Amino acid sequence: MPRALITGIDGQDGRYLAELLVSRGYETFGMIRGQNNPRAQIVRDETPAVELIEGDLQDLSSLIAAVEYVQPDEVYNLGAISFVALSFRQPELTADITGLGVLRMLEAIRVVGGTQDNRVRFYQASSSEMFGKVRQTPQNEETSFHPRSPYGAAKVFGHYTTVNYRESYGLHATSGILFNHESPRRGLEFVTRKVSNGVARIKLGLQEKITLGNLEAARDWGFAGDYVEAMWLMLQQDEPDDYVIATGETHSVRELLELAFAAAELEPWENYVDSDERFMRPAEVDILTGDATKARTRLGWKPKVSFPELVRMMVESDLAEEARKAR
107/255 with CB nearer ligand F7E: 255
- 301's CB contacts (< 8 A; 6+ apart) are 229, 230, 233, 245, 292, 295
275 annotated active-site: no
In this structure, are residues 290 and 139 in contact, taking their beta carbons and an 8 Å threshold? yes
**Strands ordered across the beta sheet of 27-32:** 51-54, 27-32, 3-7, 74-77, 121-127, 172-178, 242-245
Please list, residue by residue across 3-22, b when 16 or more beta carbons sit within 10 angstroms of its beta carbon and e when fewer do.
bbbbbbbbbbbbbbbbbbbb
Summarize the chain as % helix, strand, coil (round to 5): 45, 15, 35
Strand partners, 31: 7, 53
Nearer to ligand F7E, 64 or 260 (CB): 260
Annotated catalytic residue within 123, 151, 165, 243: 151
Amino acid at 302: K
Residue 113: how many CB atoms within 10 A of its CB? 12
Residue 7 or 115 with smaller CB distance to ligand F7E: 7
Residue sitting closest to ligand F7E (CB):
217
DSSP secondary structure code for residue 240 in this structure: -
Smallest distance from ligand F7E to CB 58, Å: 18
Per annotation, catalytic residue among 127, 128, 149, 183: 127
Is 165 one of the annotated active-site residues of the chain?
Answer: no
**CB 287 to ligand F7E: min, Å:** 9
Give the footprint of ligand F7E on this chain (CB under 6 A): 82, 84-85, 127-129, 179-180, 189-191, 194, 212-214, 217, 219, 253, 279, 281, 284-285
Q: How far is the CB of 212 from ligand F7E (least distance, A)?
A: 4
Given the complex with ligand F7E, which of 29 and 272 has the nearer CB atom? Answer: 272
CB-based contact 169:122 (threshold 8 Å): no
| Smallest distance, ligand F7E to C-beta of residue 117, A | 32
* Burial (CB count within 10 angstroms: exposed 0-12, middle 13-18, buried 19+), residue 100: middle
Which among 27, 129, 182, 229 is annotated as catalytic? Answer: 129
| Residue 3 beta carbon to ligand F7E: minimum distance, rounded to whole angstroms | 27
Q: Which is nearer to ligand F7E, 188 or 326 (CB)?
A: 188
127 assigned to active site: yes
Question: Which sequence positions are flagged as catalytic?
Answer: 127, 129, 151
